[in-house]
């Protein structure tokens, strides 16, 4: 049994998806559709940079979705169907890619939503006020306790439960710095601040959640062709209105990726196909479920290897 999984922010690189667009007309059509939806040549930024502009949250989010959907269209041109997957899931913004992949959202609506989401998340907290940090060698329960103990009246919470030894925390900068020091005292292997522009997936993102509630209310959600394993539930959801509500909750809620992978494995998923840029999720999957097989599809040769 397979699951298709879609990467989140941090996977972006200049040039991603360009070879797919050149090799597969259906992949090129995705980038054209995203450009038209946004009223600008995002594809030019994706393929030519500069990386500083591509990494801006408002650009990176629709860019990564476009690359994932282009890779999926390339796979479909080789006979792969979305219904070949028992489940789909995405890491943070990757959940939007997953929803577009299964037809819950149109690609154009998804691109516009991610542009709004990226801007709203960036603007929710003044620059320099928030931070995120990775705590390595520490399980989720311990990391969550470290975050809580470091808060001291500020916001500091576990944001991403990525795999058994990597938890990302988010919140006020001073509180996150306290948590980094505390994690080292409590036996963490490593703890380091991350080069991010805002403290995602914590209570400080409430203004962004409100902006997304308004934006999501204005788009059509359809029943997904394949159940979506939602970040904040770590289980499959198929009801369109529930999926809409969970995307709002996701802005301030934890990304329960480790639990999501374990849930899918528990349902019989033995193969995870990472569709889009990078291989970060595949690495996490292998650390979560050692017996799971992973494949990556971000380049034409990845797609061509299927028929071989």
Residue 127: what pLDDT? 86
pTM above 0.85, yes or no: yes
How far, in Å, CA of 104 to CA of 255, rounded?
20
Q: What domains can be seen in the chain, in order of their start residue? A: 2-124+204-307 (3.40.366.10), 130-196 (3.30.70.250)
Residue 81: what pLDDT? 98
How far, CA to CA in Å, does 215 sit from each of 97, 163, 251?
Answer: 17, 31, 13
Mean pLDDT on 49-69: 96
Q: Is-catalytic flag, 238? A: no
CB atoms within 10 A of CB 306: 14
The fraction of the chain above a pLDDT of 90, given in percent, is: 97
How far, in Å, CA of 172 to CA of 198, rounded?
10
Mean pLDDT on 138-151: 97
Residue 199: what pLDDT? 96
Mean pLDDT on 234-241: 98
Residue 307: what pLDDT? 77
Residue 235: what pLDDT? 98
Residue 27: what pLDDT? 98
How far, in Å, CA of 69 to CA of 110, rounded?
11
How far, CA to CA in Å, does 269 sit from each of 91, 112, 114, 187, 291?
Answer: 17, 32, 29, 33, 10
Q: Is-catalytic flag, 92? A: yes
Judge contact between 10 and 64, C-beta under 8 A: no
91, 104, 172, 201: the catalytic one is 201
How far, in Å, CA of 134 to CA of 124, rounded?
21
How far, in Å, CA of 165 to CA of 261, rounded?
14
How far, in Å, CA of 304 to CA of 52, rounded?
32
Judge contact between 170 and 146, C-beta under 8 A: no
Structure tokens at 9: 């922010």
SS3 content of the chain, % helix, strand, coil (to 5): 50, 15, 30
Structure tokens at 141: 């329960």
């Amino acid at each position: 049994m397979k699951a298709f999984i879609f990467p989140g922010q941090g996977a972006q690189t200049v040039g991603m998806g360009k070879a797919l667009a050149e090799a597969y007309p259906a992949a090129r059509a995705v980038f054209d559709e995203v450009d038209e939806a946004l009223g600008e040549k995002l594809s030019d930024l994706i393929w030519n940079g500069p990386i500083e502009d591509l990494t801006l949250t408002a650009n990176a989010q629709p860019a990564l979705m476009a690359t994932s959907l282009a890779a999926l269209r390339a796979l479909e041109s080789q006979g792969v169907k979305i219904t070949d997957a028992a489940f789909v899931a995405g890491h943070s913004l990757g959940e939007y890619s997953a929803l577009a992949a299964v037809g819950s959202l149109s690609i154009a609506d998804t691109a516009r939503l991610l542009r709004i989401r990226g801007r709203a998340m960036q603007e929710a907290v003044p620059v320099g006020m928030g931070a995120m940090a990775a705590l390595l060698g520490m399980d989720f329960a311990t990391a969550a306790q470290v975050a809580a103990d470091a808060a001291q009246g500020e916001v500091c919470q576990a944001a991403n439960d990525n795999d058994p030894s990597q938890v990302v925390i988010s919140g006020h900068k001073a509180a996150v710095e306290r948590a980094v020091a505390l994690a080292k005292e409590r036996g963490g292997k490593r703890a380091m601040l991350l080069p991010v522009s805002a403290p995602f997936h914590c209570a400080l993102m409430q203004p962004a959640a409100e902006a997304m509630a308004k934006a999501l209310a204005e788009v059509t959600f359809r029943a997904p062709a394949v159940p979506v394993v939602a970040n904040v539930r770590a289980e499959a959801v198929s009801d369109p209105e529930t999926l809409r509500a969970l995307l709002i909750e996701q802005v301030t809620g934890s990304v329960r990726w480790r639990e999501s992978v374990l849930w899918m494995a528990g349902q019989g998923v033995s193969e995870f196909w990472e569709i889009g840029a990078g291989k970060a999720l595949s690495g996490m999957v292998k650390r979560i479920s050692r017996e799971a097989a992973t494949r990556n599809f971000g380049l034409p040769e990845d797609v061509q290897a299927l028929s071989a």
